[in-house]
A and B are shown apart, each in its own frame.
Chain A
Amino acid sequence: MLQIISLLLENKTGALMRVTGLLAQRGYNIESLTVARTLDPELSRMTIVVDVDSLQRGQVIKQMNKLINVLQANDLTEGPTVVRELVLLRIRTPQESRTAVLKEAEIFGGRVVDSSVEGFAIEVTGDPEKLGEFVDVMSAYGEVEVARSGALAIALDAKKLRLQPPVSTVGQGHAMPLQK
């Protein structure tokens, strides 16, 4: 099944590699992955869609949470979540189909971002499944080329973020927790 994971991670060298490496190492297939900075420039938000056995979902989240650079890993597959994706589609279409193409784009809430005698470039955002339908419909009118962003997801309920406090390095052997 497809699992949607939202990660909040420190924006450090190699952080992306740790996440993708872990997924590969444990044998989980990545369907899509998006990453960008958050309001705090030192943190990134990553949305990953992986194809896993439903019994393994909890294990994936636990493994993600073990990464030192990951502040929070949430499973957004169920529960109140909004999932959106952006598709950019270029279509070459004959003159007689142009009106129909524009109509269909409108139905899907698309926006024409380029128009030429040969066809259009159209931008649509929406539910990933809906976008799949959009691409299917467009394919009926001509030759299409597609770039998809991969899913972005946000939980509609706030997930409590627990951060660890600093620890003292004074002491022999290894660092000790700071005295409260």
Chain B
Amino acid sequence: MSTLMSGARMLAECLAREGVDCMFGYPGGVTLPFYDVLYDHHIRHVLVRHEENAAFAAEGYSRATGRVGVCCATSGPGATNLITGLVDALMDSIPIVAITGQVTSKLIGSDAFQEADTFGITRPCTKHNYLVKKLEDLPQIIHEAFYIAATGRPGPVLVDVTKDVLQAQGHYQPIASIHLPGYKVFTEGHTGQIRRAAQLIQESERPLIYSGGGIIASNASAELREFVQLTDAPAVTTLMGLGSIPSGHPNFISMPGMHGSYAANMALSNADLLIALGVRFDDRVTGRLAAFAPHAKVIHVDIDPAEVGKIRTPEVPIVGDVKRVLVKLTKLLAETPAEPDAKRSAARRAWWHQIRAWKDEHPYDTPTSDTEIKPQHLMAEIDRLSGGNAIITSDVGQHQMWAAQLCRFNEPRLWINSGGLGSMGFGLPSAVGAQFACPDKLVFSLCGDGGFQMSIPELATIAGNALPIKIIVMNNGHLGMVRQWQTLFYNDRLSAVQLDAFPDAEKLAAAYGFKGRTVDKPSELAAALEEAVKEPGPYLLNVKVTPFECVYPMVPAGGALDEMVLGPPQPVTVPVGQASRPVPGS
């Protein structure tokens, strides 16, 4: 049965059919017909204060739930403001759908008011994009957009809709199916390759599981845990994969890479087999590629064929959904146990012994002070209150790395951060999205004083919707990570990194009608955080920390993982395969 309605209403109907209950946006001239429909529609529209934050909030919603996040902006500046969020979602494979308004079809190409070539501009910023100029195409395209966003390697899809399409009247017939003949999704994984993988795993003496965001995207956490259990291999998870293995799991040896743990980086440098699951060998993980995992054969499982072999050629490439591949692989390993082999068993025991030694040798640094709040102290306190169960959204920089090192995550989708693109300003709006998605969860929005000020307008969104987000600003008065690089690599010539004139947190929060305060004494930190968590509404806690702390370990750009700097002042090199305490300067 078809019903006569406007394009704008059709758009809302299609969104509702996709199960959208909440979207983030900012209206404008050409989206007026759509906002008129939203006036009395059950889809909840959250008015943010800048379109970039609509995209970040949609990401936060999606990262917290796995569902497709939705954002909306008007033509021209509205659409261009979405760009950072779209690229952010593209880099981290987050499914979002962005709806943008476009000027009336007849005006396209005439440099009309608020006209921009959104379709052209967003081509490289999205997994796919559409320009809708005919009403009859609209329902089909909306469903295609959701399908493309959510399936395969997830990502952002943008639909640009002209104003005349939103205004036109037409008969709406719900779409029963869509057809994308060229959209190839590989899910199953090649049986022969899975068998080869199982064989390599059984033959390996020093296996290491290297898993990432793909595990979370594929909801494969349970399968991963089962696989870890069965193989009893040590496991590292990337920044994007934190929570896919509970941080307290005995096989978990934290995050690898530029600011990864000593144990994780040493394990990567010495393993004889890498079981790479939903990862893309990012440069922040591998360090100097030529020296990355030099002794390891690689099994690489990814749903995106273009990722397999892009950076490192694997011995066993498996293109498929990591969840399905893990189920098959685990089953195969369980059904065909390896022949007992005394030499291999001894080697595996020695490997574990070595891993534990590395873990004990250089755990993450957690300095404390009686006079100043150390950033690591702040993370430990947040972690204490979270207990590994709160959502922590993070901005980008030093605080992000310390949180990734020191906060526990018992489940996936608790750690929400901008990994690939490293977008400052992400922390606050993504917390808005996450809190709307999970109203009953404790949400910490952890920001630096830089990133916080990039998204400061969203305090109004938080206040207006009474979102009980705990905004924690790790305030070191600087753009800390840039400052760290200037200190370490530019002779401490601190250029344009000082952030003066940070507002009074108590007054700032009060101006928006909620509570806030500044804390700078280590002895008061625990109580201040507890007070923030107890507060039923939003809370802004400005934590003044040591200004000149650096994040360690650190693999200098272009360095090998085992050349990591463990702390100030000297670089330390450990020969591969040697477990002894590194000698400074060697």
Contacts and interface: CB of A to CB of B under 8 A. Distances in A.
Interface in A115-169: 162-169
Interface in A34-49: none
Contact of B182 (A58, A71, A178): A71
Nearest to A15: B182
Nearest to A25: B124
A97 interface: no
Nearest to B14: A169
A58 B309 contact: yes
Interface in A44-102: 58-59, 62-63, 65-72
B58 interface: no
Interface stretch (B140-148, B358-366, B491-499): B140-148
B87 to A, nearest CB: 12
A91 to B, nearest CB: 40
A173 interface: yes
Given A18-B123, A174-B151, A167 B177 contact: yes
A71 B182 CA distance: 4
Contacts of B179: 164-167
A175 interface: yes
B137 to A, nearest CB: 11
A169 B309 contact: no
Contact of B178 (A58, A72, A167): A167
B182 A68 contact: yes
A178 to B, nearest CB: 6
Contacts of A166: 177-179
B147 A175 contact: yes
Nearest to B144: A175
Contacts of A67: 182
B231 to A, nearest CB: 29
Contacts of B123: 14, 17-18, 21
Interface string B546-568: 00000000000000000000000
**Secondary structure of the B side of the interface?**
loop
B131 interface: yes
A81 B182 CA distance: 24
A20 B290 CA distance: 31
B183 A68 contact: yes
B184 A174 contact: no
Given A21-B123, A62-B306, A68-B128, A170 B176 contact: yes
A65 B152 CA distance: 13
Given A13-B131, A17-B123, A166-B177, A173 B19 contact: yes
Contacts of B67: 173
Interface in B125-173: 127-129, 131, 143-144, 146-151
B124 A164 contact: no
A90 to B, nearest CB: 35
A4 interface: no
A9 interface: yes
Contacts of A173: 18-19, 67-68, 150
A178 B147 CA distance: 13
B503 interface: no
Contacts of B309: 58-59
B182 A175 contact: no
Contacts of A175: 143-144, 146-147, 150-151, 178
A178 B18 contact: no
Interface in B19-33: 19
Nearest to B154: A174
A10 B144 CA distance: 15
A59 to B, nearest CB: 6
A7 B117 CA distance: 26
B272 interface: no
A163 B248 CA distance: 45
Contact of A71 (B17, B119, B181, B310): B181
11 contacts: A14-B119, A22-B124, A62-B305, A62-B306, A69-B182, A163-B181, A167-B180, A169-B17, A174-B147, A175-B144, A175-B178
Interface of B: 17-19, 67-68, 95, 119-120, 123-124, 127-129, 131, 143-144, 146-151, 175-185, 304-306, 309-310
Given A14-B120, A164-B182, A173-B18, 4 more contacts: A14-B119, A59-B309, A68-B128, A173-B19
